[in-house]
Chain A
Amino acid sequence: MSNTIQHNTNKVITAEHLTKKFGHFTAVDDISFEVERGEIFGFLGANGAGKTTAMRMLCGLSIPTSGKGFVAGYDIGSQTELVKRNIGYMSQKFSLYDDLKVWENIELFGGIYGMNDAEIKVKTDELMKVLNFENERDKRVGSLPLGFKQKLAFSVSIFHSPQVVFLDEPTGGVDPITRRQFWELIYDATSKGITVFVTTHYMDEAEYCNRVSIMVDGKIEALDSPKNLKTQFNATSMEEVFQQLARKSTRKAD
């Protein structure tokens, strides 16, 4: 972990009245929440509820129309470069370069985050061992099965030991066993102090999270641990909680 980071706060993500408008359309409508260090924070919502927009703001890719946000101790409005340096990002849509070899991808992303060659080499060896990928090291990523790719993509996204990692629907389409192995990697990352901010459409995955927020029409309608949410909504599963909340949506087409 980079040594310049201030550890004086335990809040890794703070959003205060974050709002994003596109013309007359309010994609994200005054949301506030905090995420603690080492937490797995589930960010749920129907398609078009504003999840992606909110996540983009937190990653420093989009400037909020109003409100404030701090990620890893930096202001997402004015310190976007520092924010980006301290976060990792992975999505199902883009993860790695298919035409580069496994180690080339790792080297590339390590390089992008300013790690030196020796550090990259040591950590690559370690990673290959942990993932049991030693035989795949010289293979092109495009030739690997999807499950391999996703595990690798996640490992690459936390390769530079960011404070937070943002995962945008990371497990779409993977077989159930790989999906579980993936979540075990996430658990492992949090045990090393990395905070995980994750969106998913699998409601059973929401149960893995320490806390879950559910967005409806740009607002956060519920935020608590899965257990409390189930009690609160008198439901047996997160699926039911979600169905109850998301049905309230009036935003039909985004």
Chain B
Amino acid sequence: MLAIEVKNIAKNYSSEKSGKFIGLGKPFSDNDTRVDSDTGIEGISFEVKKGEIFGIIGPDGAGKTTLFRILTTLLLPDQGSARVNGFDVVSEYKSIRNCVGYMPGRFSLYQDLTVEENLNFFATVFNTTIEENYELIKDIYQQIEPFKNRRAGKLSGGMKQKLALSCALIHKPDVLFLDEPTTGVDPVSRKEFWGMLKKLKDQGITILVSTPYMDEASLCDRIALIQNGQFLKIDTPKDIISQYKNKLWAVKSDTMYKLLNDLRANELTKNCFAFGDKHHVSMDNDKLTMDKLREELGTLGHKNLDIREIEPTIEDCFMQLSQV
């Protein structure tokens, strides 16, 4: 059986219908949870197998949150149908609410309750107790247990994230929805978080996770690249990379900003982007060899040139796909 099955789902927001009280916008708050809730999605279809980690990868405003809200029965789709754990998201929403865990964008915990009180509260909300499913959250919860009497608002970003995950897991859900769990979290905590997800996968939990960080794509079994409410591609990270249409060269010199402009100015360049300390360039390889490029750049005055062929990253693929 499929854990998630989505057929041609679409959701459109007319500007009138956002449910806001006339003339009063949302006040600014740190916990702004509606980062991209106003972006619609158009005709999305995909399937997630049981026990899979499926990543929805794309920038803010691409429609990730809207998709998550439809699947967690918080929003009604305009068209199409979706099933989670075999239940229809519209007609059988109550059954879905019993078997999924959801961690909305940013951290939705009660800041004025302690760690333990938060966990206890969510346990009772889901008709269970901490003891009943302690095994499942043990690994994660033990890391924050020393601070169980601390208010959630006083935890660091990484700890809040662990607590939120514990709360979403407390009722042993079949499917876990994590909407941008790692946004704004430092690389170390992010790595730890993905380690936890792997362990949950091993226990048979299906995970749908969204992220704007492209480097997290390789940690998913399969991914969908999303932009402007549409999927650009659905596949395993490996296959997406192998389908990159060109050879990709990493180019370096002593004057990087000039190099970028010079590479862009070359009429055989298909695209060229800065990538940390290198520039990634794809060129018309029929007409230009690496040696030829080296020679051309040398005449433009670039010193210490270094050009080598590299394997594209998901980010390269995303940029190529989104430019079509």
Residues of A within 8 A of B (CB): 45-49, 93-94, 98-99, 142, 145-147, 169, 172-178, 180, 183-184, 187, 191, 201-208, 226-227, 237-239, 242-243, 246-247, 249, 252-254
Enumerate chain B residues within 8 angstroms of A187, measured Cβ to Cβ.
Answer: 257
Asked if A174 and B156 sit within 8 Å, CB to CB, the answer is no
Enumerate chain A residues within 8 angstroms of B25, measured Cβ to Cβ.
Answer: 98-99, 142
User: Interface digits, B183-197 against A, CB 8 Å rule (1 contact, 0 not)?
Assistant: 111111101000000
Enumerate chain A residues within 8 angstroms of B2, measured Cβ to Cβ.
Answer: none
Asked if A46 and B274 sit within 8 Å, CB to CB, the answer is no
Asked if A93 and B30 sit within 8 Å, CB to CB, the answer is yes
Closest to B214 in A: A176
Closest to B59 in A: A175
Identify B157's interface contact among A48, A98, A237, CB under 8 A.
A48
Give Cα A145 to B318, complex, Å. 18
Give Cα A242 to B213, complex, Å. 17
Asked if B186 and A47 sit within 8 Å, CB to CB, the answer is yes
Enumerate chain A residues within 8 angstroms of B274, measured Cβ to Cβ.
Answer: 180, 183-184, 208
Give Cα A177 to B25, complex, Å. 30
Q: How far is the CB of B280 from chain A (nearest CB, A)?
A: 10
Asked if A204 and B186 sit within 8 Å, CB to CB, the answer is no
Asked if A252 and B187 sit within 8 Å, CB to CB, the answer is no
In this complex, which of B25, B183, B186, B315 has the most chain A Cβ atoms within 10 angstroms of its Cβ?
A: B186
Closest to B192 in A: A247
Give Cα A47 to B319, complex, Å. 29
Closest to A237 in B: B276
Asked if A172 and B212 sit within 8 Å, CB to CB, the answer is yes
Enumerate chain B residues within 8 angstroms of A178, measured Cβ to Cβ.
Answer: 59
Q: How far is the CB of B101 from chain A (nearest CB, A)?
A: 23
Asked if A48 and B184 sit within 8 Å, CB to CB, the answer is no
Enumerate chain B residues within 8 angstroms of A147, measured Cβ to Cβ.
Answer: 59
Asked if B188 and A177 sit within 8 Å, CB to CB, the answer is no
Which of B3-11, B82-90, B147-155, B293-301 has 4 or more CB atoms under 8 Å from chain A? B147-155
Give Cα A147 to B59, complex, Å. 9
Asked if B277 and A227 sit within 8 Å, CB to CB, the answer is yes
Give Cα A180 to B271, complex, Å. 12
Identify B187's interface contact among A93, A146, A169, A239, CB under 8 A.
A239
Asked if A177 and B322 sit within 8 Å, CB to CB, the answer is yes
Identify B186's interface contact among A94, A173, A206, A246, CB under 8 A.
A246
Identify B227's interface contact among A175, A207, A252, CB under 8 A.
A175
Asked if B189 and A169 sit within 8 Å, CB to CB, the answer is no
User: B51: CB under 8 A from chain A?
Assistant: no
Give Cα A16 to B215, complex, Å. 36
